[in-house]
Structure 1
Amino acid sequence: MHCWKTINVKKQYGFDRLFLLSSLIVMIVFSFAYVLLGIFNDSAKSDEYFLLFVLSFLCVYPLHKFFHYLAIFGHTNKLKFIMYKQFGFLPIFSLRISEPIKKNRFVFVLMSPFLFINLSLLSAAILVPAFSHYFTILLAYHCGMCLIDLIYVKNLMKSPKTALIEETATGFEILIAPIS
């Protein structure tokens, strides 16, 4: 196996640009989702359960990481769990896969939180219109959080179908078998 390409989105884009793009996605998703949900159901909004909303907001990030973990559950012997602090106080959790895995599986691992959490939040916003503003905020926040995963998926889609993906300290390496 040899490395076809190395992808490091954080190095390629930089923290400031990623934060700006993520913030724009949050605002755009909230604006469109809130307006569209308001068109279909214009019932009165309730500010009840605000503390539950704040707790839910704080739980989105660990839930996002949990869905990554669930998607790779069969390979738990290949996982390394790392926690570090951003800005000196904000805990950041990282799951690292120590051995190469198939590209399709890796794409599923990256996409699973985006698909399952966002579908759940959209469903909840439709089913409980009085709290659709809460669910829409959570949806927008989670979409912004998924930006890095989506950028990685975009880059992986350009790689060969039979590629293996290995996660290293410098980013993701796309490995392919040498052509004989």
Structure 2
Amino acid sequence: MNCWKIINFNKEYGINRLYLQSFLIGLLAFVLLYVPFSIKHGTISMNESGILPLIIMVSCLPILHSFVHILPLVMMNKRARFIYKRNTIFFPVINYYTKKQLTKKASLLAAVAPTILITIPGITAAYLYSEFYVYFLIFTAAHIAMTYTDFLYISYIARAPKQSFIENRNNEITILVKNETKSAG
């Protein structure tokens, strides 16, 4: 196997820049989602009993996000493990690492799974439950901010060669390609 590309956004962009971009994308997502939903739901009295579940769900969101990344891998019988680090008081850093190399399709499926299984149901719940739509939008916008780096990885993986393999280790992703050996004769 030859290494096609090594992706480590913490080294390329810096962790503070990634956090700032994620925050701004989450804020933009909330604003862009809030306007049409507030027009759709009109002036409905907000149920204030949703603030405590929102705080609990947003604090559990990093763990839930990581579990949803691993869910497709478990369903495909791929082995993965969690690495839990507590850098700050509020936000734990949870990464997952695969034991073996994944195909490009499996890696893309694992990367897009949180968007399919958390963001889309959050938007649907905001549409269906008019009394709590703001809470669902806040939760969904926070999750969209978390998936920013996922979509950066997806953009690199999507541009990789078709038969490539993805290795996820040491907080970086390595895209590997099989050696093309030609026999003499």
> TM-score when scaled to structure 1?
0.93
Query: 1:123 is aligned with what amino acid?
Result: T
The gaps in structure 1 that reach 5 residues or longer are none
Moved more, 64-73 or 136-145: 64-73
- After the TM superposition, which residues 11-160 of structure 1 pair with which residues of structure 2 at under 5 Å, given as runs? 11-44=11-44, 45-74=46-75, 78-87=79-88, 90-160=91-161
1:43–1:130 contact (8 Å) kept in structure 2: no
Higher relative contact order (CA 8 A, sep 6+): 1
Query: 2:23 is aligned with what amino acid?
Result: S
* Runs of 4+ displaced beyond 6 Å: none
The CA deviation string for residues 75-96 of structure 1, in whole angstroms up to 9 with x for no partner, is: 6663232111113664322210
| 1:176 corresponding residue in structure 2 | 177
The gaps in structure 2 that reach 5 residues or longer are none
Moved more, 73-82 or 39-48: 73-82
Aligned to 1:80, the other structure's residue is in SS state strand
- Cα RMSD (Å) of the superposition? 1.6
2:62–2:94 contact (8 Å) kept in structure 1: no
Moved more, 123-132 or 35-44: 35-44
Moved more, 48-57 or 6-15: 48-57
Q: How many angstroms apart in 2 are the aligned matches of 1:12 and 1:173?
A: 14
Aligned to 2:48, the other structure's residue is in SS state coil
Q: How many angstroms apart in 2 are the aligned matches of 1:22 and 1:138?
A: 14
In the superposition, relative to structure 1, how do residues 79 and 171 fare at CA in structure 2: closer, same or farther (>3 Å)?
A: same
Query: 2:34 is aligned with what amino acid?
Result: Y
| 1:164 corresponding residue in structure 2 | 165
The CA deviation string for residues 87-121 of structure 1, in whole angstroms up to 9 with x for no partner, is: 36643222101211101100110110012101110
2:102–2:165 contact (8 Å) kept in structure 1: yes
Q: How many angstroms apart in 1 are the aligned matches of 2:148 and 2:171?
A: 19
Q: How many residues align?
A: 180
In the superposition, relative to structure 1, how do residues 91 and 133 fare at CA in structure 2: closer, same or farther (>3 Å)?
A: same
Task: Choose 1 or 2 for highest CA Rg.
Answer: 2
In the superposition, relative to structure 1, how do residues 130 and 152 fare at CA in structure 2: closer, same or farther (>3 Å)?
A: same
